[in-house]
Amino acid sequence: MKTLTHNQLATRIAEHKGVLIVGIEALTDAKAKKTGNPFPAKEIFKHVRAVGFVGADYQNAVNREATRQGAEGNFETEKLPWGTWLVKNKIIIHNDEYYLRTQSTPNQRRNQAAKILNYLTNSGQILTREQVKPFLPPTYESAKQQDEAGLDKTVWVRTYKFNSIKKIRIRGETFKMI
């Protein structure tokens, strides 16, 4: 399997004009609740595989989705709540760390749903969904998209820290991140 460094990934993403579909395998913080959490260091990670669009215009995507759902598309984006764009709609830099921004539509998630492969503790112990469920935060659809664009099922935005990405598939090639 080919490998990519963080800088090489940033270069590949930046060089690609327009929207890029990527497949990601990542180990991300599950943002587990601390209260009552019996696991070491109170940290739970999720090993996830997902597909998303990189470089798509978020505002346009939400308004197009509103049209698909028969709603008024009056959605307007705000500036990033944290970090700055290194490459607009693709890569964010924050505290000297790179983040890859992806988004997915309800139709895309129906056809290529993200899959949680497993949950892990800080020490690598594998946990079941039943073990971690009481400590996982609830998931919500975007209230702003629902209120402003009238969406029932919203456009999801996910941001992956480069060092959480273990593998990435770009234009038919899979790379292991080093």
- Looking at residue 141, its pLDDT comes to 87
Compute the distance between CA of residue 61 and CA of residue 56 in angstroms, rounded to an integer: 7
Q: What is the pTM of this model?
A: 0.90
- The number of domains in the chain is 1
**Domain coverage including residue 38:** 2-177
- Looking at residue 156, its pLDDT comes to 94
HEC letters along the chain: CEEECHHHHHHHHHHCCCCEEEEEEEEEECCCCCCCCCCHHHCEEEEEEEEEEECCCHHHHHHHHHHHCCCCCCCCCCCCCCCEEEECCCEEEECCEEEEEEEECHHHHHHCCCEEEEEEECCCCEECHHHHHHHCCCCCCCHHHHHHHCCCCCCEEEEEEHHHEEEEEECCEEEEEC
Closest to 65 measured CA to CA, from 158, 156, 159: 156
pLDDT in tens, the chain (178 residues): 899 999 999 999 999 999 999 999 999 999 999 888 888 777 899 999 999 999 999 999 999 999 999 997 789 999 999 999 999 999 999 999 999 999 999 988 888 889 999 999 988 899 999 999 999 998 888 999 998 898 989 999 999 999 999 999 999 999 999 9
